Structure formats: structure tokens, C-alpha cells
Structure 1
Amino acid sequence: MTKHDPISLTTVSAGFIQDWLDALQSRCTSKEMKSLLERSGLQTSPMVPTQRITLEEIATLYQLAAPATGDEMMGLWSRPIRPRALQHLLTVQREASSMVSALFRFSTFWNLLLDDFRLDLRSKPDEVELALAPYSPDTKPQRFGHMLMLKLAHGLLSWLGGSETRVQEVRFAFARPDFAADYAVVFPCPVAFDAQDTSILFDPRHFDRPITRSPAEASAFLMRAPIDWIFTGSRAHTNSLRVRAFLYGETWQSCQLSDAAHALKITPRTLNRRLKDEGTSFQNIKDALRRDIAIRALQQGTASIEQIAFDTGFSAPSNFHRAFHKWTNRTPGSYRL
């Protein structure tokens, strides 16, 4: 994802990563944790759930924390995942003759390492489901850990196929969280909650044949982890991402619902309904893009806060400050690097 990409601009709420931060603390001293957060660009004091976190901050924390803790899953599972485990996983995956075979190898690999959950591969002619099933009914799902495992499976399939693999649905075995909207950045499909098991579902009829991947390509994939496989690069699989991509390519400040509907070749009423089904609205998407453009400009640009306020459609800097605090619970100045 590039600097000028509408997906890479996206931020997620602090609540989305809080389970990960809690798990990471179990693998670090307080001093080590503070250092990891500081070097990642994250604040060391407690964050409120509505604060915004950039994808770069998440990727940097992962790249620092995995080697620092000696656990490539950073406390998300009861047993540490030792260094080079993911490298061995890619070696196993590179030899798969089909996507179903790749998923079988994926489940077998992790079932050798995990103590609390097993990965079940449930295959039918028109549906393949990879599920995380607990060994004990008393075991509670780790929300970030379950998300990360499903996305690793999806990311590896996409890497093997050479393009993002289509997903039918994702189901989580936990209640819908307040940050549920953030999953749209991660999964290009409908997301359900309160399921019996956490799982990701594919239609095997849409599977591409795996392409041959070299050891050098595997190393590059690991070097970029987790940005390439956590966050979806899709512009087509959900209406909300399609609208966001459209707005980013247009003069988004003046675009209306009818403009987006025309570009997507559907009626405004149909688009409004589909966005509602995805848990969002045209205005929410527009406001989120405006927020994320402002955060990127504050972090990487040289424009003044006043100029950024005008560039993002505010008539006065004071209005921008109020809106920004409502979006992030932080001041614009606190995002300056």
C-alpha cells in the first residue's frame, strides 16, 4: 500500500488493538513496553477506545515487538510462538498444489503449536471454512488473536494466488464490540459476531491456482509483515470500500451520495441500503476519509494546522479542532511527528 492509497490512509480505533496491547504486556516488563510504544509512535499513557491508530503504527509495533518478545504472536496465545515459526509456515505453504491444500497445511501447522484452540478445515463443494475451535468450552477467545489468525490465513492465500482472495464471510465467537466498524478495514466481506466458532469462509470456485513463490519472495513477505496481510487492499469486495476509493479519487468535499451511486452504477437508495447493511453510511465514510486525510497530513506533511483545517473542508480552525477532538479524543498538535 502506498502513501497515496485510500486504504493506507485508514486508521482504526485504539479499542481495536487494546487486546493485543494487554497480551503484549504479559511478555514485557513495563520499561520494555514503554520503549516499544514510544518507538512505534504510540502514546505510553492509557488510550481511550475512540482514539485513532494508523496502520503504520500498528505495523511498526508488530515489527518491533515480535523479535523483542521472542514470540511471533506476542502473547496472543497461551504458548509463545518461537522465532522463525512464520518463516517455516511460508516454506510449508509454498509447496501447496491448491488453495485447499494450502489451508490444510496452514491448519496442520498451527495445530502443532496451539494449546487452547485447534484449526478445523471444513470443506464442501461450494464452501470451505477454516474455524478456530476451543479444546475447552471455558476458553475465551482473544479478539485480536482470532482476527490475526484469520487474516494470516487470508493473507497467505492472497499471496499464493497473486491477488486478494475473495472471502464469503467472517464469523467471530465473541460479542459485537464497539469497534466493530474497524473490521471493514481488515476483511473485505460481511462480518458476524456471537458465532459458535471463529471462522473464515471461502467459495473454492473462486480460488486461484497457487503460483510458484521463491524463497526471496517469502522473505520479502515476512519483511513487510503484517501490513500486507492484516489490512485489506480491496477496492471492490464491499460497498463501503468502493465508496471510500471513489471519494478519494474525486473532489470528495463536494461529492454527494448520488455521485457515488452513479459511479457504482446503482441507485442512491440501493447504495444507502447496502451501506446500512454494512453498518455505515455515506456521511460516515466521508467523515472518516476527512479524519484520516487530516491525520496523515499532520503526521507527514509540513502544512500548518490552519491550512489542514481549510484543506479538509472546515471554514475555521476552531471548528476543525472541535471535530478532531471528537474523532480522536486528541488535539491535532498531538499527531505532529
Structure 2
Amino acid sequence: MPQLTTSDSLTVSRPFIADWLRALDRCGDRCGDKHLLQTALQQAGLSDPQLGRVGRDQIVTLYQQAATSSGDEMTGLWSRPIRSGALKHLLTTMRDASTLPAALYRFTTFWNLLLDDYQLDLSEEDQKLRLSLRPRASAPTVNRFGHMLMLKLAHGLLSWLAGRELQVAAVGLAFPRPDFAADYAVLFPVPVSFNAKTSCLTFHSDLLAGGVLRSDAELLEFLQNAPRDWIFTGLQGHSVSLQLRAFLASKPPFDAPLPECAAALGLEPRTLMRRLRSEATSFQGVKDGLRRDLALRALLARTQSVEEISQDLGFSSSANFHRAFRRWTGRTPGQIRAAALGI
């Protein structure tokens, strides 16, 4: 198995995208393609509803397939379709701004021309710049994935314009804490709060200093990769558990001992364990999550046998790998591979 980084293999739980899948189903009805969702899921290797984890490449494929088929670049997440080419126009407009705050202002004015159900507000207070997603007169049902995606789009586009992942002061989401709350650490570089008055993204104003400098070629490459580079802006530093995961990923067969990992992160073993508990995980949980996601990625790639995958992940036998994989996912390796083939 090729050496993989955290960003290559990291997954989120299937419930994380549930609101998006419902929106895609409605999007298919709206554009007259009743098979849109089914086709997109099949292309992304997600046709099996029992597949509990979703990888970065699968999210990208699902978005690209759905956006192309529906002609809606926000894939049914808002009441009005966002026609093809809109994001290119948005990015071009933001790139022509003289500063990052000016680019963020252009982001708000762009979306306020297109959205019927929400309005984007930009406010500054105490050296902080806040972007808020405020419902218009008739409060619509909150699409959790849509709210996340709009905030992540703002963060991702600004980060791309700046040439680095911008630090965020706070992220708030206007809905109760879901069971999949831990998945947000994959996307945002700060802990996310829930039950906020409005979904909002806050930056320290001084961190938005500097100009905007991107070429036409870079813009086209960014759009071709969409949504990869604006959803997944930078993963390893978002939490201690992701930093640990990144270190483990550099040490095949991904089973480095606790003292070695703690030293690599500049922590005492007890401190590392305590920090992991505060993130609702454990040392073993991070190791299992990494090996689970690497196994899923390898099974879906279909370039190795199950025996080879089990060996690369450090298992003494295929039987041990099968038991561990079933414990992690509720499925067997063969079932995952068959689902990817549409069997």
C-alpha cells in the first residue's frame, strides 16, 4: 500500500451527509432526473446505504457528478438552483478584490443576489470580522450540510486567495449538536459550537491582512478540483487527534507506541491521553480509525487483495483483519468491495 497521509484517507460518518443526500433527491426531481441521486451515489461508490464511512474522494465525486447532472452548483441545498458558472464568477470577483476583507464582502453581496431563503451579513466588532447566515422573513428548515458548506465555502475561498489555511476565531451552527459532531473537526480549524442564533464564521481581523494574488491558471485549477480545495483546506492541525493520526500515518504499519507518538507531538503521554479524551476519542480509537479508513480506501481502489491489505495494515492474519474490520464498520471487506462494484 502506498504511504498515505491523513488527508488521503480521512473519512466522515454517513449521517454527516444525510441532509445533503435528501437535498440531492429533491434536486433530481426539480431538474427532471429521477435517477440523479442513485447515479451520483453509484459513481462515488456509496450506493450501499450500510456503508457507514464516507471518504474525501467520495464526497468530491458525489458533488461533481451531481453538480454536472443537475446544473446546480450547490446541488439542491438552497431553494433556488445555482447555475453552472456561478462559482467561477464568484471566484473571479473575489480574486479582483484588493484585500481579503474586501473579497469576503464581495462573497456576501454575490450570495445575497442569489439566495431567496437566507441573507449573508458581514459585521466587525472587537477586531473580529463575522460572517452570518441569517434566515429571511420565512424561516426555512435548516439543512445542516448546507449551512456547513456555505461557511466552509467562505473559509475555503479566502484560504485559497491567501495561499494558506486561514485561522478562524469561531464557528457557530444554528442547529442542535448532532451525533456526528466530531466530523466537523475534519473541516474547521477550531471547535464548532451548536444552537447558535445564526450560523456564523468569525475571523480575527489582523489575520486577514495582506493582498490577493492568484493567476488565471490557478483559478481554473481550483475550479477543476472543486470542491476538494475549498472543503478540505488543511486537516492535520485541526485537533490533537488529527495531529496524532497524521503522525501514525507516516509510520507504517500505523501502530507506533504511545510514548513515541506523544514525543512527536511535544506532549507527555498522560497529557496526550487527556487531550484525546477531551476530544471524545482515545489513542486506540485514533489508531483504529486510521486503519479503518486506509482499509476502506484500499478496498474501494480495488488494486490489492484483502490479504495484501491486511498485511500492509500490520495484521498477523486475514482472519484478524476481517474481525477488526467488521468491528469497525459492521461489514466484511468482501461486502465493501462488492458494493463498490455495484453487486
Give the structure-2-normalised TM-score.
0.90
1:184 and 2:185 are equivalent in the alignment: yes
Q: Secondary structure at the match of 1:112?
A: helix
Which of 39, 42, 46 is matched with 2:46 structurally?
Answer: 42
Q: Secondary structure at the match of 1:53?
A: strand
Contact 1:324 1:332 in 2 (8 A): yes
Q: Which residue number corresponds to residue 226 of structure 2?
A: 225
Contact 1:252 1:286 in 2 (8 A): no
Distance 2:272 2:133 in 1: 34
Contact 2:5 2:250 in 1 (8 A): no
TM-align CA RMSD: 2.1
Distance 2:177 2:192 in 1: 10
Letter in 2 for 1:22: R
TM-aligned CA distance change 1:280 to 1:16, over 3 Å: same
1:207 and 2:208 are equivalent in the alignment: yes
Q: Residue by residue, what CA displacement relative to the aligned partner does 1:185-240 show, whole Å, maximum 9, x if unpaired?
A: 11121111111111112112222523322222212111100011112324234212
Give the structure-1-normalised TM-score.
0.91
TM-aligned CA distance change 1:230 to 1:174, over 3 Å: same
1:327 and 2:328 are equivalent in the alignment: yes
* 1:7 Cα offset (Å): 1.2
Q: Which residue number corresponds to residue 132 of structure 2?
A: 131
Q: Secondary structure at the match of 2:164?
A: coil
Letter in 1 for 2:36: E
Q: Which residue number corresponds to residue 17 of structure 2?
A: 17
Letter in 2 for 1:12: V
Contact 1:51 1:330 in 2 (8 A): no
Runs of 4+ in 1 over 4 A off after TM superposition: none
Contact 2:185 2:238 in 1 (8 A): no
Q: Secondary structure at the match of 1:298?
A: helix
Structure 2: gaps of 5 or more residues:
none
Q: Secondary structure at the match of 2:12?
A: strand
Contact 1:164 1:233 in 2 (8 A): yes
1:32 and 2:33 are equivalent in the alignment: no
Distance 1:205 1:258 in 2: 38
**Percent of aligned positions that are identical:** 51
* 1:294 Cα offset (Å): 1.1
Letter in 2 for 1:231: F
1:7 and 2:7 are equivalent in the alignment: yes
* 1:63 Cα offset (Å): 0.9
Distance 1:309 1:24 in 2: 36
Structure 1: gaps of 5 or more residues:
none
Structure showing greater relative contact order (alpha-carbon pairs closer than 8 Å, 6 or more residues apart) = 2
Q: Which residue number corresponds to residue 51 of structure 1?
A: 52
* 1:253 Cα offset (Å): 4.0
Distance 1:218 1:253 in 2: 36
Distance 1:207 1:123 in 2: 12
Letter in 2 for 1:122: S
Contact 2:175 2:195 in 1 (8 A): yes
Q: Residue by residue, what CA displacement relative to the aligned partner does 1:42-98 show, whole Å, maximum 9, x if unpaired?
A: 21x5x24x7111211111111111121121111101111111110110111011222
Q: Which residue number corresponds to residue 251 of structure 2?
A: 250
Distance 2:298 2:61 in 1: 19
